[in-house]
Structure 1
Amino acid sequence: MSAPALEAAPPLARPRAAALLWPVVGAITALLVLLPTSALPGWMWKLPPSWKLPLAGEVSAFVKWLVDSAALGPLAFIDLTRAIAWVLDWPLALARALLVAGFTTGQGSQAVQWFPPLPWFAVVFLAVALAARVGGWRLALLMGAGLGYLLVFGQWASAMVTLASVLVAAPLAVAGGLMVGIACHRSPRAEKAITPLLDLAQTVPVFAYLVPILVLFGFGPVSAMIATILYALPPMVRIAAAAFRAVPEEVVALARMSGCTRRQFTWKVLVPTARPALMLGVNQVILLTLNMVIIASMIGAGGLGYDVLTALRRLAIGAGIEAGLAITVLAILLDRLAQAMARASERGRHHGARAPRRYWLPVLAVSAALWLAAFLAPPLATFPDSLQLSTAAWWDEWVRWINITFFDTLDAFKNAVLLNLLVPVKRFMLALPWPWVALVAAFAGWRAGGAGLALGALAGVLFIVFVGLWEYAALTLYLCGVSVLVAVTLGVPIGIFASGRERLWRAVEVAIDTLQTLPSFVYLIPIVMLFRVGDFTAMIAIVLYAIAPAIRYTAHGLRGVPAPLVEAGIANGCTRTQLLTRIKLPLALPDMLLGVNQTIMLALSMLVITALVGTRDLGQEVYSALAKADVGRGVVAGLCVAIIAMVADRLISAAALRLKRRLGLS
């Protein structure tokens, strides 16, 4: 053997030897589970109280200090937060006055309305005119049909409350995300400092920071709007930073040669060039804002979210589905409008087209006339009750019929899944000693990304253990793991089957788009009515919510396999099965891993919502902390969920990157 060959042998041998360690890890894991608990020290499952870090108490004490004693010079910190809330209340109050309450003076019985809100026909006219201008007659018809649904099914008033919040929260989140994205583009140090905060903001459950927001800003629509902005802002930052990095180098060089100042370069070159990608960020912000409306209703947002939450508490399935569908309709309308505005912005950038004044002046004049008509004849502003419909009774009757007709079948299916899947996996996870789980996580990190990732995974597990939440984390891993396994088992075959059939893929894409626009709480209502509360109900809701990425990324990876490789396989006589198993699936595997990653992220975000149906994991800890206004408990449990999400994200992303390099795709 030549010298170069000898030098090349050790690097190849080490990964093979490391891969052989996984069967050993599996054998030791099985042995530890089968051993009686008395064979090992008790602290390997439950830490003594003296070992635990009092982090929850420290966080609660810090927030109490902020509220009671902290000050910035002569100004108390709590006064500053309430001043911020007062400033943010102005645009929200204006939007609510325009769409919901009208312009009034005084409060309570002393309130006097000087001018009514925009009547429904004026809002419909304005929305349809805007849709027609940016998206053509098809979008105008969709807008009219969607708003008509809200009117006919009695959801108009609540929808306008929700729309008022979205119209204020979304622009603020977009503006904040854009500013932070510009800062990241200008300073690599700022981007390195901000990226971990974005990771944390996107993985900490929303319930975890509702409590501190409630304490600092008070109960009401403004606090709900602040929570919504914090929830929707991180994706805008990431999209803005990526869009600015994608600006062609020749555009940047031309701007520098032209002598642009930093301000001119930012607002006259960078932002206009990146506008199409930024509009995709706007679209994402709108969808996240609407996805937040039910959770925000817990701290005073009102609107459609409050209707869904109330229906869930009363188990009124019909009313809950109607309100949930209204949120979905609103999300679809705003989503399509944002996409049309992005396309119109791109056309305007290339062709220099601007919306002519002769279009908008008549539209605004007609809208003002309609508003005046509602002022002079108030009955016109009320949609006739005789034209309203409701499917609530039909939905209730349908679920009742299913329960009566298929109760034995549904109950048998539920018990079979519980006894044969959920309960064994739950016992397995609770039987694992935490030191072994920490070592396995570190080993997985070393195999996927080296020593740095190994230390990060180890530190994450140890943090969860020493704040005293290991048992809750094990239950989280069990329920999330089973749900992700089921979602991937169902989603990957659907993605494979639909990827090569264009018409079927279009239908599947519509279905998964609908699943992703439905508010997460809506999934719970029919499932609770069919299966009652418990881990099985939570698993079904998580699978429905998280299955979309497994389908989408699988189909995307298979459809993205280079055509020359497929043609080469056909030329060599490969059958359809051989093409799939030996060419397409291996090349699509990195994308499929990223789909699994996104499925895990969605499963963890839904896990906190399923705390409402009786789970006993970290999600329940976060929700209980919100119910008791325990800031420290909620924050620490939320951080544990975020750690699980970030460790899973880093491990799978590193494994996907390593696989791409092995396949020569990166």
Structure 2
Amino acid sequence: MSLAEARPASPAVFSRIAPGRLMWIAVLIATIVLVMLPANALPAWAWKYPLAWQVPFGSWISAFMKWLMESASFGFFTVHDFTRAIAWTLDLPLQFAKSVFATGFIQGQGSDAVVILPAIPWFAMIVLSVAAGYAVGGLALGLQMGFGLAYLAVFGQWDSAMVTLASVLVASLFGAAGGLLVGLACVRWRWLERIVSPLLDVAQTMPVFAYLLPMLILFGFGPVSAMVATVIYALPPMVRVTIVAIRAVPEEIRSLGLMTGCTRRQITWKMLVPSALPALMVGVNQVIMLSLNVVIIASMIGAGGLGWDVLTALRSLNIGKGLEAGLAITVLAVLLDRFAQALAVRSGAAVQGQSTGRRNILIGGLGLGLALWAAAAISQPLAVYPEAWKLSTGAFFSDIVSWINVNFFSTLEAIRTGVLLNVLIPVKRFMLALPWPWVVAVIALAGYRLGGWRLALTVGLMALFPVVVGLWPTTMITVYLTVVSVVLSALIGIPIGIASAQRPKLWRVVEAVVDTLQTLPSFVYLIPIVMLFRVGDFTALIAIVLYAVAPAIRYTAHGVARVSPHLVEAGAMNGCTRGQILKRIRLPLALPEILLGVNQTIMLALSMLVITALVGTRDLGQETYSALAKADVGRGLVAGLCVAFIGMVADRLISAAAGRMRARMGVEA
């Protein structure tokens, strides 16, 4: 691409694209006019979809689930028996992991229960983790693992953290293995990928609340249902990473396997999968982080652990207890993230020189850890961290929040009220005043302009779905909060990304902050914000922006930094200032990448928006949460599908726009 292509378009080009711009200006003016029209200017059905026209998908789904669990059978056994058998089978590895890490191996029940072998004690676990961290990532990772687990013990979070760790490890194992198998099947059969792809989109964008209830009905109340829901939520990234990683393996490796007489199975498992292992480990890392992010939600149906501690603290507004449990989840997330990243790097690097020494350290640590575990089994009180050694920061955090509320209440209330009156409420009223036929038509028009009739039909039908199920007003409230949150995230994230892309020292600081924001579980954001601003849309807005701003920063920095230095140098040689190079060269070329960052910001905003139903929003998240509380599976799934379709419409349109920009500029994805 030459420098001339990066400069502003010629008048001839403007004459070609001007009609399109004029069309969108006309659409904007028409939208404003429609909002300002009196209610009787259009037919009543344009504002409120008639009840007689609505399709009762929710009732159909609820009736189907009732028939499935009460009447459906496979001859000798019912569906209820079949799903309970699956639950019993899945419970075996989960109970084994909990026995190892948390409860110990127990014989008998109730008052007759006897601990045969205690759970691995805290000091043995620290020794094992330090050895494993050193073997995988060196001394720095080993020390991080040790200090992180010691923090959990010192601050009294060990028992709950080990329950959470057991659940996450088992769910991650099932998610990674299932995602790998589905991804390999999609690589082998293209028709299967076409079927699976939209299902993955729905699973990734549908709120976890929506399918907690079906899992509860199918598998019963308890940790197994929570684990299945966690696996469904965490599996899609592994499937997508597997497809990309296997297809990226050089063709020469496949040809070598065929030439040496390998079967298809041998080529897959002995050549393709090992060659793609570094990329696959990135997918495993994503599965682990997503699994950990669901533990609080899953605690609503019996998962327990740190998630339950955070949830109870949030319900009782116990700031100290909630932040302690939230920080424990954060520590656990950071440790698992760092370990998985190091494992991914190690799987793709040749570390022959250090492998023997690190392997000996690992074996020695394993032996010492097992010896300490045996000592704890002989003297079981050793396995328990002494109460006298525990510390607590709960009172400290509570005092800080109380001090802020006492001294800055007026300022915080003024900020909250100002944003509500001047931003949130006007945007909300504007969105609710839009007639649904016009919104659906504009979305379909955007799809046609960006991707043709197929995309127009797809996004148009997705936009129509909330209308026909009677959830249009609730959907527009969701859209309004998402739009405001994403705009604010972009206004914060894009300038930070631009500034840090050209300053390596600044980027190191920003990257550490972004990594922290992406590692923090979503519920952790809610606790201090609720304490400062109480419940409501403003609280949800702050939590969403904090959770969703990271992709806007990262993608912008990546897009600006990867612009060809030859183009930048050519601009400087032509006398362009630094600002002109940024506006005329870097930003235009980075725009597709920035759009993809905005796309990811929308996905995270929707994910967080559903969770903010716990702090008083009245959107689709509240609809799914209420359905879970009332055991209304149809209502929950329909509301979840509405959220999923919002995300999928945004994803399809933004991806199509980014693709058109890349094609226009001749830039490869």
TM-score, shorter chain, exceeding 0.5: yes
Whole-Å separation in 2 of the counterparts to 1:128 and 1:356: 11
Partners of 2:134 and 2:358 within 8 A in 1:
no
CA displacement at 1:110 relative to structure 2: 1.7
Aligned residue type for 2:539: T
Q: In structure 2, what is the equivalent of residue 25 of structure 1?
A: 27
Q: In structure 2, what is the equivalent of residue 485 of structure 1?
A: 487
CA displacement at 1:358 relative to structure 2: 5.2
CA displacement at 1:16 relative to structure 2: 3.3
Aligned residue type for 2:659: L
TM alignment of 1:356-395, pairs within 5 A: 359-395=361-397
The DSSP-based 3-state class of the residue aligned with 1:653 is helix
Aligned residue type for 2:95: A
Whole-Å separation in 2 of the counterparts to 1:18 and 1:340: 49
Unaligned ranges ≥5, structure 2: 1-10
Corresponding residue to 1:171 among 170, 173, 188? 173
CA 1:330 to 1:356, structure 2 compared with 1: closer, same or farther past 3 Å?
A: closer
CA 1:78 to 1:207, structure 2 compared with 1: closer, same or farther past 3 Å?
A: same
Q: In structure 2, what is the equivalent of residue 107 of structure 1?
A: 109
Whole-Å separation in 1 of the counterparts to 2:363 and 2:517: 39
The DSSP-based 3-state class of the residue aligned with 2:115 is strand
Q: In structure 1, what is the equivalent of residue 407 of structure 2?
A: 405
Q: In structure 1, what is the equivalent of residue 329 of structure 2?
A: 327
CA displacement at 1:14 relative to structure 2: 6.3
Q: In structure 1, what is the equivalent of residue 634 of structure 2?
A: 632
The DSSP-based 3-state class of the residue aligned with 2:55 is coil
Whole-Å separation in 2 of the counterparts to 1:613 and 1:649: 27
Q: In structure 1, what is the equivalent of residue 185 of structure 2?
A: 183
Corresponding residue to 1:147 among 135, 146, 149? 149
Deviations 1:373-398 (A, max 9, x none): 11222222222222221111111111
TM alignment of 1:228-627, pairs within 5 A: 228-347=230-349, 359-627=361-629
Partners of 1:124 and 1:147 within 8 A in 2:
yes
Q: In structure 2, what is the equivalent of residue 6 of structure 1?
A: none
The DSSP-based 3-state class of the residue aligned with 2:336 is helix
Higher alpha-carbon deviation: 187-196 or 342-351: 342-351
Aligned residue type for 2:56: P
Q: In structure 2, what is the equivalent of residue 4 of structure 1?
A: none
Q: In structure 1, what is the equivalent of residue 224 of structure 2?
A: 222
Whole-Å separation in 2 of the counterparts to 1:150 and 1:359: 24
Partners of 2:488 and 2:545 within 8 A in 1:
yes
CA 1:351 to 1:200, structure 2 compared with 1: closer, same or farther past 3 Å?
A: farther
The DSSP-based 3-state class of the residue aligned with 1:511 is helix
Whole-Å separation in 1 of the counterparts to 2:658 and 2:173: 35
Deviations 1:36-95 (A, max 9, x none): 111111111212211100110000001111110111222211111111110011111111
CA 1:27 to 1:362, structure 2 compared with 1: closer, same or farther past 3 Å?
A: closer
The DSSP-based 3-state class of the residue aligned with 2:176 is helix
Aligned residue type for 2:46: M
Q: In structure 1, what is the equivalent of residue 207 of structure 2?
A: 205
Aligned residue type for 1:620: Q
Superposed CA RMSD in Å reads: 1.7
Corresponding residue to 2:39 among 29, 37, 40? 37
Aligned residue type for 1:456: T
CA displacement at 1:612 relative to structure 2: 0.8
TM alignment of 1:635-654, pairs within 5 A: 635-654=637-656
Whole-Å separation in 1 of the counterparts to 2:358 and 2:396: 47
Identical positions, percent: 62
CA displacement at 1:499 relative to structure 2: 1.3
Whole-Å separation in 1 of the counterparts to 2:514 and 2:283: 20
Aligned residue type for 2:179: G
Partners of 2:556 and 2:593 within 8 A in 1:
yes
CA displacement at 1:343 relative to structure 2: 2.2
CA displacement at 1:167 relative to structure 2: 1.8
Whole-Å separation in 2 of the counterparts to 1:40 and 1:170: 53
Partners of 2:134 and 2:141 within 8 A in 1:
yes
Partners of 2:295 and 2:303 within 8 A in 1:
yes
Aligned residue type for 1:375: A
CA displacement at 1:348 relative to structure 2: 5.3
Partners of 1:348 and 1:354 within 8 A in 2:
no
Unaligned ranges ≥5, structure 1: 1-8
CA 1:360 to 1:491, structure 2 compared with 1: closer, same or farther past 3 Å?
A: closer
The DSSP-based 3-state class of the residue aligned with 2:221 is coil
Q: In structure 2, what is the equivalent of residue 3 of structure 1?
A: none
Deviations 1:431-467 (A, max 9, x none): 1100010111011111111111111121112111011
Whole-Å separation in 1 of the counterparts to 2:556 and 2:370: 50
Partners of 1:162 and 1:304 within 8 A in 2:
yes
Higher alpha-carbon deviation: 366-375 or 47-56: 366-375
Aligned residue type for 2:414: A
Aligned pairs, number: 658
Partners of 1:480 and 1:604 within 8 A in 2:
yes
CA 1:415 to 1:69, structure 2 compared with 1: closer, same or farther past 3 Å?
A: same
Partners of 1:557 and 1:591 within 8 A in 2:
yes
Aligned residue type for 1:265: I
Partners of 1:347 and 1:353 within 8 A in 2:
no
Partners of 2:221 and 2:301 within 8 A in 1:
yes
The DSSP-based 3-state class of the residue aligned with 2:106 is strand
Whole-Å separation in 1 of the counterparts to 2:221 and 2:47: 40
The answer to whether residue 664 in structure 2 is matched with residue 662 in structure 1 is: yes
- Normalising by structure 1, report the TM-score: 0.96
The DSSP-based 3-state class of the residue aligned with 1:347 is coil
Aligned residue type for 1:187: W
CA 1:522 to 1:595, structure 2 compared with 1: closer, same or farther past 3 Å?
A: same
CA 1:11 to 1:554, structure 2 compared with 1: closer, same or farther past 3 Å?
A: closer
Q: In structure 2, what is the equivalent of residue 195 of structure 1?
A: 197
Q: In structure 2, what is the equivalent of residue 136 of structure 1?
A: 138
Corresponding residue to 1:126 among 115, 119, 128? 128
Whole-Å separation in 1 of the counterparts to 2:591 and 2:166: 43
CA 1:358 to 1:423, structure 2 compared with 1: closer, same or farther past 3 Å?
A: closer
Q: In structure 2, what is the equivalent of residue 162 of structure 1?
A: 164
Whole-Å separation in 1 of the counterparts to 2:88 and 2:139: 41
Q: In structure 1, what is the equivalent of residue 69 of structure 2?
A: 67
Whole-Å separation in 1 of the counterparts to 2:106 and 2:479: 52
Whole-Å separation in 2 of the counterparts to 1:352 and 1:365: 20
Q: In structure 1, what is the equivalent of residue 5 of structure 2?
A: none
Deviations 1:277-305 (A, max 9, x none): 01111111111111111011111011111
Higher alpha-carbon deviation: 131-140 or 346-355: 346-355
Partners of 2:309 and 2:322 within 8 A in 1:
yes
CA displacement at 1:234 relative to structure 2: 0.7
The DSSP-based 3-state class of the residue aligned with 1:247 is coil
CA 1:94 to 1:661, structure 2 compared with 1: closer, same or farther past 3 Å?
A: same
The DSSP-based 3-state class of the residue aligned with 1:75 is coil
The DSSP-based 3-state class of the residue aligned with 1:259 is coil
Q: In structure 2, what is the equivalent of residue 57 of structure 1?
A: 59
Partners of 2:281 and 2:340 within 8 A in 1:
yes
The DSSP-based 3-state class of the residue aligned with 2:560 is helix
Partners of 2:135 and 2:359 within 8 A in 1:
no
- The ranges of structure 1 where at least 4 consecutive aligned residues each deviate by more than 6 angstroms after the TM superposition are 9-14, 349-352, 354-357
